[in-house]
Amino acid sequence: MRAAKFMAFRLSPELAPYLFLSPFVLLFLVFGVFPLLFSLYLAFQTWEPTSGLAAMQFVGWDNFAFALQDEWFWKSLKNTAWLALASGVPQHLVAIPLACFIHSSFGSLRNGVVGAYFMPYITSTVAIAILFSSLFSTDYGLINVVLSGLSQIPLLGGLMPQHPVDWLNDPDTIKPAIALIVFWRYVGFNVVLYLAALQTIPKDIYEAATMDGASRWQQFWFITLPSLKPMIFFGVTLSVIGGLQLFEEAFILTGGRGGSDQAGMTTAIYLYRMAFDFNDFGAASAMSWLLFIVVALLTWLTNRLFSTKESHS
């Protein structure tokens, strides 16, 4: 009797998946899907945050028009594109040959080497950005100390700056400084991606190529690179999406304001400031959708670029 009662409370296999999924789905709808719809709604509204949500007013496309005429918005887009390219392209140019070399030549040391390159990826961006802002200090920051040391060396010295560089306050140098940190942080991640792709290339292709007298360079160019193409596409897409979202590194290095002459202000920083410093949540939401369109467009473009190349080969 008691057993029968217990059975009645038992979860049926038809109902079980709904019950298992419900906590996740509830949170997903409230904190994953609803914010997106809400942000779309906000992009068409204006109001004084102090007078409460009831004071919202529909303004049509005004917020978008405002964003598109805003000088700082365009500047932030240019900065973001510059940073995404200057940090993203070298990541792949370095990671591909590095992964190939580690793949072919490192035996027992392999995990240690990969770990060293990967470690920056898991550490706190804030702690790292704080450290780098001390390394980039004008007076006796480690980077300037090393550069002035190098400038004493004949020949090479001519290429080095003759005066200490004011990395973080000069509009011309803040972007390279940010790009360096981003490069340092993500290059190891890409090495791991390429290593995984390299493992899927069958070894006998290389053996056959060696028999046919192909040089190592030819093997790299005609076997390795074409085989890596899908991963290159994937890695570049991730770098584009990631680079266009850049926030933390630039935020810390510029003290949260975007730097002198807004030279280090990415679009993500600008829309944060638009909302939380200038209290214009409507315009900030419109900007986030505009940036989203840029990200989507670029992802689609890289996709096309790589797939057309594929059909040629």
Instruction: Check binding of 292 to other proteins (CB under 8 A).
Output: yes
Dist CA 269 CA 247 (whole Å): 6
Binds other proteins by CB under 8 A, chosen from 222, 225, 255, 278: 255
Contact call for residues 132 and 250 (beta carbons, < 8 A): no
Query: Site residues for other proteins, window 177-216 (CB under 8 A)?
Result: 184, 187-189, 192-193, 196-197
Instruction: Check binding of 159 to other proteins (CB under 8 A).
Output: no
Q: Which is nearer to other proteins, 130 or 225 (CB)?
A: 130
CA distance between the termini of the chain? 73
Instruction: Check binding of 248 to other proteins (CB under 8 A).
Output: yes
Residue 17: what residue type?
A: P
Dist CA 257 CA 30 (whole Å): 31
Q: How far is the CB of 259 from other proteins (least distance, A)?
A: 12
Largest CA distance in the chain: 95
Pairing state of beta strands 57-58 and 45-46?
antiparallel
Report residue 155 as tokens.
Answer: 């020949």
Q: Which is nearer to other proteins, 82 or 233 (CB)?
A: 233
Instruction: Check binding of 76 to other proteins (CB under 8 A).
Output: no
Residue 8: what residue type?
A: A
Instruction: Check binding of 89 to other proteins (CB under 8 A).
Output: no
Q: Which is nearer to other proteins, 1 or 313 (CB)?
A: 1
Instruction: Check binding of 268 to other proteins (CB under 8 A).
Output: yes
- For 139: left if phi > 0, alpha if psi spans -120 to 50, otherwise beta; the answer is beta
Instruction: Check binding of 65 to other proteins (CB under 8 A).
Output: no
Q: How far is the CB of 258 from other proteins (least distance, A)?
A: 14
The interface region with other proteins, picked from 23-31, 61-69, 156-164, 204-212 by CB under 8 A, is 23-31
Print burial letters for 6-37: b (CB count within 10 Å at least 16), e (below 16).
eeeeeeeeeeeeeeeeeeeeeeeeeeeeeeee
Q: Which is nearer to other proteins, 11 or 159 (CB)?
A: 11
The interface region with other proteins, picked from 83-91, 205-213, 283-291, 303-311 by CB under 8 A, is 283-291
String marking each residue 34-53 x if it binds other proteins according to CB under 8 A: xxx-xx--x----------x
Q: CB atoms < 10 A from the CB of 199, how many?
A: 8
State residue 57 phi and psi, 5-degree precision: -130, 135
Contact call for residues 115 and 207 (beta carbons, < 8 A): no
Dist CA 43 CA 285 (whole Å): 5
Helix (H, G, I), strand (E, B) or coil at 59: coil
Instruction: Check binding of 154 to other proteins (CB under 8 A).
Output: no
Instruction: Check binding of 31 to other proteins (CB under 8 A).
Output: yes
Instruction: Check binding of 32 to other proteins (CB under 8 A).
Output: yes
Q: How far is the CB of 224 from other proteins (least distance, A)?
A: 15
Helix (H) / strand (E) containing 57: strand 57-58
Query: Site residues for other proteins, window 122-151 (CB under 8 A)?
Result: 122-128, 130-135, 137, 139-142, 145
Binds other proteins by CB under 8 A, chosen from 1, 2, 8, 23: 23
